[in-house]
Amino acid sequence: MSIPPSVAAFFPRAEVIHPKSLKPGKPLEKLDQIAFLVRDIDTAIEELGRLFGWGPFYVVMVDNEAVYRGVPTKYKLKLAFCQLGSLEIELQQIVEGNTPHREQLETVGPGFFHMRLISDDINADLLHLNQHGISGIWEYLVDGQVLNSYTDSHLKVGFRAELIATRDQVAKMKKHEADAAVENIGE
């Protein structure tokens, strides 16, 4: 296996190390977003534009419900999105509610918040992570179609992973739940 050019340019003698064990099934390798927690999105947008030339940003206010550490909760977040090549940058500002965002602001402060990974089977991936001591701590639906789950992986590996199920997966889960409900009626 050759060293990737981006590494070889700086470290041509980098050692290649393969993990002793790998996650069974498909790897969680579809990284499409990096999110940062900020105290004030408007200030962050201006600074990122002035310093790095990032923009435009697309801003939304989210007023939603989630399950945080097993407890249903309402929350409000102000979010801003910017595309950098194939990678989406998300800025998150907590407005109200008990969320991992508030927890991080109170314990660590603003900064890197999560990496979003697209999961081909979110239930199997969450079960696998749970078997290794990583829990889903914040689950929510976006428009009833996209399931997101933040994990507490930051406690083990230094970053929070957000797993996202595709619209097709959510539709299949809903169909499975509906089919199970119909089967239970007959019993």
Q: What is the pLDDT of residues 129-172, one digit of tens each?
A: 999 999 999 988 776 656 788 899 999 999 999 998 876 776 67
More confident residue, 122 or 9: 9
28-185: CATH, from 3.30.70.1560, 3.40.640.10, 3.10.180.10, 3.40.50.300: 3.10.180.10
Distance CA 107, CA 104 (A): 5
The rounded percent of the chain whose pLDDT value lies above 70 is: 87
Residue 16 pLDDT grade (very low, low, confident, very high; cuts 50, 70, 90):
confident
What is the predicted pLDDT for the residue at 187?
52
**Would you list the domain boundaries of the chain?**
28-185
Distance CA 135, CA 132 (A): 9
What is the predicted pLDDT for the residue at 173?
64
More confident residue, 67 or 59: 59
Distance CA 56, CA 160 (A): 26
Which structure tokens are listed for 185? 């009626």
- Contact predicate 115/159, CB 8 Å: yes
The C-alpha angle 100, 104, 162, rounded to 5 degrees, equals: 50
Distance CA 118, CA 99 (A): 21
